[in-house]
Structure 1
């Protein structure tokens, strides 16, 4: 059995992924999307910037010949060269287990090893900005394999991070953790059974097995598809004998409250019922929000003549909001007009901000609907950055209505996630490009900056317009769903008073 540093890295994140990487059908893997390709390109660029600081040697090897690659690396180490790029280290560990380590750099340091009065220290170049635990565990793995070859432990592995000083892995702390995880990984791979899945959208979205695992989860109506079921709660539910959506939906609410606390147990019970019955519910406690929330005025007024739906596309690495999109719904004339203010260069951000501000001020009575709080924060950021008078931008902020807040505080929906796409698709809305998303827009924008392909801007504008229209569809549905409860609550309040 071969256990590599990459395999150990992914085992820490998901034992199922590690198993499928070894035994799964490669035809079931998702193809690389543009965002992953961009991440890899950015990572390679960062790696090259680091490598430019070294006068390194590169061992002569190719393909999957890890034994030949190890011998070529050892020859350079025996010569005592200053640094080695793309070295390969392999060694036996347990019976039938070979470890393969591929640190980005091996750097010569003073010390005592089988080579003489020098030894090598691994350097792992990571595109991340933080020394994540899984990076540190892999760093300890590099140290283990290197120690088996040079017959001396290096003092550390240096994690070379983006925009930070190198982080020295604490071997006293991380080596025991690494050895435990390595043993568990080997045991998992020696079993003939694929590890149970648990879909976590935040962790799984970039995995090439995501579609295959999601298909299995859907066929099982797996509990990990239910919002609020975290890995720890999933283990608790299994311990309680609740292993299916039906069982969770029919579980006594008192049992769930006792296990998870009153609020979390109540929310989990409602979510399970909504998902099992495929019906939306009024969230417990929503009546208080309908009556008391400062921003509830949009529910109580008749349909306004004009309403606006606002969405942004941004490039975080450039600290740039490059598209401010607005869908103006004119109920008087039964018209819908989309405005996409696009910064074709980063220097045009101020220009599109002023254009957007002018459009909003031309409809001073219109409410501005958006999904999540990023839009309001962006209005405030751009106003500060470009010295907009407070009375101008505050007038916009005061008209903003966060539809995501109202959805998550007043409803329980039969969806896997309370992001815009799952909710809008549940309502029947479809994006014209099903593969488009915010990450893809970042790729398109960077491609535009590099190649000036107008199709990139057209694709971004189309996606942003669809986001605005999806927000409008959701707001329309939410109004119909909540208004009877709102006016019922108002009536009860008046009767009591």
Structure 2
């Protein structure tokens, strides 16, 4: 079925009909669910904005924790019967996928599933025994993700594949799957997320039809190419979602008490706020009230002091990774000794060099067993644990890392209210006056720089990557200095 031609007979069609014909065939893919979970406005602007914000092709993989084709092939390299769908046109790729399914191929790589305007791209379709439209076998879907943990957005994508497979083979898979880089298969019951999946799908269809979602800025919005629009709209409305780490349920509770903006919240006395919102904990009300005051007046509040160790030598630590390859390629350390700074990068140009990089880093730590090691966020500790398990570590270095690693964000959150919606290192560092050298500095862009460097071996790109990492550890140091001055 196709919409009527735009001739003179249809010039009187209503605006609502025009919207219907324009958007009824808009494609929904597994990535749509990822976008919806992260930021419903992402879906809205992608469909309805006259301006387009295309992502770098690798960014499409990066945003939903996927991996490049070469790394995916490594993950399934030990499978004996792999049929790869090569067609680029979605309809041709679907026909090729159906042919492989009918043949009963064991593993179908890069298959495409289509039903009307739904198009799924599971990384792997795996044959299992059971009666279906195909005969005595049917298929289940799996995606390959860098994450070692199941996340809701992965499960919604799996539910989408299950819906498509049920229409194609007339058997719905019971479980969805995620394959990690170390070939571990994580499973989850489709039924677990099915009800929420259908609610999300209904909301997505409404958004595509023209319903604009309510303002609500979250950290997920930062992954969207439309983040600036999301933030601008929320700021123009003085929206409560601008409060740092506020939950939708908390905003709903405030709104039900006729508190609808940051300004309204900031003007209330705390006693009045407690009276009007009696069912929320005092601790949460205090934090949100202080946050509203901070944002409204553009200044921070110290809620309690932060105790930091005194040392002649301090280390500041940051890791650069390429999630597309599941490859942690740069351990950067800033050493501060009696006020003098020196930057020490430990780099691996390929995954084969990771172990050497790790040993060099451990040797460096062994030379500074009493130095506190400051970092920002849990990622550095997670990678250190993974590398220690994979490549080994001496007892003395392990004890030093366990004893000396200090996550600044864990100290900041309970102690300081910043006039910021987000507490990333870049947000806080910018507030205290530190700026990165590269105008386009970001974690995502650093991955793209590294991918480009792998292909070109450009010294200029390598220098940019090193400077970005050095700026990360410098920012961590500047934050520690600021905390010592303002919150000690």
TM-score by length of 1: 0.72
Q: Is 2:159 the counterpart of 1:159?
A: no
Conserved in 1, the CA contact under 8 Å of 2:314 and 2:335? yes
Corresponding residue to 1:325 among 331, 334, 346: 334
Match of 2:12 in 1: none
Match of 2:317 in 1: 311
Corresponding residue to 1:4 among 28, 32, 38: 28
Match of 2:299 in 1: 279
Mapping of residues 315-464 of structure 1, within 5 Å: 315=321, 317=326, 322-328=331-337, 330=339, 336-343=340-347, 345-346=353-354, 347-355=356-364, 358=367, 370-372=374-376, 385-388=393-396, 393=400, 404=409, 407-438=412-443, 453-464=458-469
2:413 and 2:45 map into 1 onto residues whose CA distance is 35
Measured after TM superposition, the shift of residue 420 of structure 1 is: 2.7
Match of 2:89 in 1: 63
What is the SS of the residue equivalent to 1:350?
Answer: helix
Conserved in 1, the CA contact under 8 Å of 2:330 and 2:346? no
2:28 and 2:384 map into 1 onto residues whose CA distance is 48
Call closer, same or farther: CA 1:380–1:16 in 2, change over 3 Å.
closer
Q: Provide, for residues 442-497 of structure 1, a one-character-per-residue CA deviation record: whole Å limited to 9, x for no partner.
A: 666677677655445533442343334434544444444357xxxxxxxxxxxxxx
Match of 1:213 in 2: 230
2:398 and 2:199 map into 1 onto residues whose CA distance is 57
Call closer, same or farther: CA 1:314–1:79 in 2, change over 3 Å.
closer
1:423 and 1:43 map into 2 onto residues whose CA distance is 32
Q: Is 2:285 the counterpart of 1:265?
A: yes
Deviates more, 1:422-431 or 1:178-187: 178-187
What is the SS of the residue equivalent to 1:135?
Answer: helix
2:287 and 2:47 map into 1 onto residues whose CA distance is 39
Q: Is 2:170 the counterpart of 1:148?
A: no
Q: Is 2:268 the counterpart of 1:244?
A: no
1:355 and 1:327 map into 2 onto residues whose CA distance is 14
1:70 and 1:375 map into 2 onto residues whose CA distance is 39
Match of 2:205 in 1: 186
What is the SS of the residue equivalent to 1:205?
Answer: helix
Deviates more, 1:39-48 or 1:209-218: 39-48
What is the SS of the residue equivalent to 1:429?
Answer: coil
Measured after TM superposition, the shift of residue 275 of structure 1 is: 0.9
Q: Provide, for residues 412-437 of structure 1, a one-character-per-residue CA deviation record: whole Å limited to 9, x for no partner.
A: 22122333321221122211113334
Q: Is 2:109 the counterpart of 1:47?
A: no
Call closer, same or farther: CA 1:277–1:28 in 2, change over 3 Å.
same
Conserved in 1, the CA contact under 8 Å of 2:332 and 2:473? no
Give the number of aligned pairs: 445
1:76 and 1:368 map into 2 onto residues whose CA distance is 57
Match of 2:8 in 1: none
Match of 1:136 in 2: 155
* Larger RCO of the pair (alpha carbons < 8 Å, separation 6+): 2
What is the SS of the residue equivalent to 1:432?
Answer: coil
Corresponding residue to 1:23 among 19, 44, 48: 48
2:127 and 2:477 map into 1 onto residues whose CA distance is 61
Measured after TM superposition, the shift of residue 273 of structure 1 is: 0.3
Match of 1:233 in 2: 250
Call closer, same or farther: CA 1:84–1:242 in 2, change over 3 Å.
same
Deviates more, 1:370-379 or 1:8-17: 370-379
What is the SS of the residue equivalent to 1:264?
Answer: helix
Where does the alignment leave 5 or more consecutive residues of structure 1 unmatched? 93-97, 299-303, 331-335, 484-497
Measured after TM superposition, the shift of residue 261 of structure 1 is: 0.9
TM-score by length of 2: 0.73
Measured after TM superposition, the shift of residue 272 of structure 1 is: 0.9
CA RMSD of aligned residues (A): 4.4
2:193 and 2:418 map into 1 onto residues whose CA distance is 43
